[in-house]
Structure 1
Amino acid sequence: MFIFEKEQKVWDINGVKIGGQLGSYPTVLIGSIFYDKHKIVSNRQKGIFDKEQAEALLNKQDEMVDKTGNPCIVDIVGDTAEALIKHIDFVASVTEAPFLVDSTIAAARLEAIKHAVEVGLVDRAIYNSIDVHSKEDELNTLKELGIKSSMLLVFSPKALMPEGRLELLKGSSGEEGLIQKAQRAGIQNILIDTAVLDVVSISFAAQTVHSVKNELGFPAGCGPSNAITAWKKIKKDFSPTSYKACLSGSVLVTVMMGADFALYGPIEEAESVFPACAMVDGLISYYNKRKYKIRPESPTHPLTKIF
């Protein structure tokens, strides 16, 4: 195990602590709901879904939080502003967890997060995300709304290696970095998503997590599940059990490199991912407690919950 050279930032988002040295706080696990092709959604444009099934999934994730000590965030996905707003209102009524406002359409994200502010959910809302394509009007709107928390998606086809991704964050040759962009938008709680493209790129993303924390100190993580869910060979040539093992394994690779959070994919996978991550968090904490005198800051850390 190891510790980071840079002093580590820790954010508190509606009671969920994210960041810190290895062993201080447990990994925050982020499950996605209402995602593309999610069977509980019957109309993606209007945000019509099976509320009973959705509530059961959210309750199961909260149950895993209680059992393992790993906090959660809900990744709320929507194709339109109408759908995303309905999704946010429902999730906020079922769970107290923070949530990502997630859409591939910037206008939908902005309208939905504006709604979150208007109904008093700004402390729980995390904008997903600011990236190299974010325009000035998007940044200005976030500042005007008083958005406190946002993901920064660190990706460019021109910067695939960890060194290049760090430059995207810090800026170079007079160009503004993503961190500066976020700060200009008034973002206080900056969460750095090191971007996974395919299965093999998980290695780059995991190394970038380590580099970001070691050099910049910001909370960092990624979504390795995106690659695993699209991995056709593992689904074709191996059993469903193998797929679940690889999904959890992909998360653990990033956790061992210091990830503070992980987007673990479909919320249905909570029962597989939470115990595996809790085990690794406990092992890391036990070692760093003995080696570096870093004690868990959370009274419900997996080290005390599952061992």
Structure 2
Amino acid sequence: MFIFEKEQVIFRIGSVEVGGQPGQLPTVLIGSIFHRGHKIVADHKRGLFDKAKAKRLIERQDSLSQKTGNPHMLDVVGESLEALENYINFASEATNAPILINGPNSAIRLGAAQYAAQVGLADRSIYNSLNYTATEEELAGLRESGIKAAIVQSFNPRNPWIEGMRQQLIGTPSKVGLLEAASRAGIEKPLILTSVLDLPSVGLAAGAIRALKSELGLPTGTAPIGVIGRWRKAEEYGWYSKKLGRAAASTLAQCMGANFIIYGTIDRASDIFTACALTDAMVAYDSLVRGIKPLTRNHPLYKVL
């Protein structure tokens, strides 16, 4: 393993700390809920859903977090402002975890961000996300909302390689980078998300985590799970192959320094928390010999071995 020469920033969002050197803090695990295709949702436009099932899913993620020591957040996805507001109300009462505000366009995301701030949730809300399509109107609306944390996507449609991600974040002589744009929008706690386009690019996203943290020192993570569903030859390796693939994708990112992982549907929490907690414990043990100690006793190193 390794340590970063660059000083690594740690942000506190709500009750969760994210960032730092490998081994200092457990990986923050973020499950998505109410997304398209989620069977607990009856009406995506109005935000009607099975509250009992949603509560069980959220409570299970809470329980796994307490058991393993891995902090958690909730990626709340809504296809309309009405739906997203309904989901935010429910989620904020079901858990004390930070909430990612996720919608299909900036108008819906901004409306929900402003709503979250109005009902007193700004300190544990994360705007998901700022990306290469960000406009001045979106930046102004985000500043107006008062939310201070955001996912900042590194995806560069003109150059999907690590250097392209870097340019998307820090800019070029002819274009302002997204980190500066986020700062103008009042974002004080940017969480960098490296891009995954297909199954092989999970390796690229993991490598980008190490490269970007080496240069910027900011909390960085990825969303490596969704592409496992497009693994064409998975059936050749048994019914359990995709489950193992999701674990492999997550742990690869952790071994490259990931501070957070958006692992997709919250239904998969049990598998992901188990794999990631064990990996965190191993990484932390290696970091001890490099002079890096866990910053909390509530760490997988002390809970899962």
Distance 2:89 2:229 in 1: 27
1:304 pairs with 2:294: no
3-state SS, counterpart of residue 240 of structure 2: helix
Tell me which residue corresponds to 2:108.
108
Tell me which residue corresponds to 1:259.
258
Distance 2:231 2:98 in 1: 29
Counterpart contact for 2:30–2:74, Cα < 8 Å: yes
Tell me which residue corresponds to 2:90.
90
Distance 2:222 2:26 in 1: 15
Query: What amino acid is aligned across from residue 301 of structure 1 in structure 2?
Result: H
Give CA deviations for 1:245-291 in whole Å, capped at 9, x if unaligned: 1111111110000000001111011110101111111111111111x
Distance 2:98 2:229 in 1: 24
Tell me which residue corresponds to 2:228.
228
Give CA deviations for 1:228-254 in whole Å, capped at 9, x if unaligned: 1343542x5454422111111111110
Tell me which residue corresponds to 1:295.
293
Residues 247, 80 of structure 1: CA spacing in aligned structure 2 closer, same or farther, 3 A cutoff? same
Distance 2:181 2:238 in 1: 44
1:138 pairs with 2:138: yes
Query: What amino acid is aligned across from residue 89 of structure 2 in structure 1?
Result: D
Query: What amino acid is aligned across from residue 126 of structure 1 in structure 2?
Result: I
3-state SS, counterpart of residue 36 of structure 1: coil
3-state SS, counterpart of residue 2 of structure 1: coil
Counterpart contact for 2:18–2:259, Cα < 8 Å: yes
Q: Which runs of 5+ in 1 are unaligned?
A: none
Give CA deviations for 1:9-67 in whole Å, capped at 9, x if unaligned: 10000120100011000000000111111111111111011000000000000010011
3-state SS, counterpart of residue 132 of structure 1: coil
Q: TM-score, normalised by structure 1?
A: 0.97
How far apart are 1:168 and its partner, in Å?
1.0
Distance 1:120 1:240 in 2: 45
Query: What amino acid is aligned across from residue 123 of structure 1 in structure 2?
Result: D
How far apart are 1:157 and its partner, in Å?
2.1
Tell me which residue corresponds to 1:275.
274
- The CA RMSD over aligned residues, in Å, is 1.1
Tell me which residue corresponds to 1:66.
66
Q: Which runs of 5+ in 2 are unaligned?
A: none
3-state SS, counterpart of residue 160 of structure 1: coil
Query: What amino acid is aligned across from residue 241 of structure 1 in structure 2?
Result: Y
3-state SS, counterpart of residue 123 of structure 1: helix
Distance 1:106 1:164 in 2: 23
Counterpart contact for 1:80–1:105, Cα < 8 Å: no
Taking the TM superposition and a 5 Å limit, the aligned residue runs for 1:44-83 are: 44-83=44-83
Query: What amino acid is aligned across from residue 247 of structure 1 in structure 2?
Result: R
Distance 1:108 1:79 in 2: 8
Tell me which residue corresponds to 2:12.
12
Distance 1:90 1:114 in 2: 17
Distance 1:89 1:297 in 2: 32
Query: What amino acid is aligned across from residue 84 of structure 2 in structure 1?
Result: L
Distance 1:62 1:238 in 2: 32
Identity of aligned residues (%): 42
Residues 249, 112 of structure 1: CA spacing in aligned structure 2 closer, same or farther, 3 A cutoff? same
Query: What amino acid is aligned across from residue 121 of structure 1 in structure 2?
Result: L
Query: What amino acid is aligned across from residue 203 of structure 1 in structure 2?
Result: G
Tell me which residue corresponds to 1:2.
2
Residues 137, 276 of structure 1: CA spacing in aligned structure 2 closer, same or farther, 3 A cutoff? same
3-state SS, counterpart of residue 160 of structure 2: coil
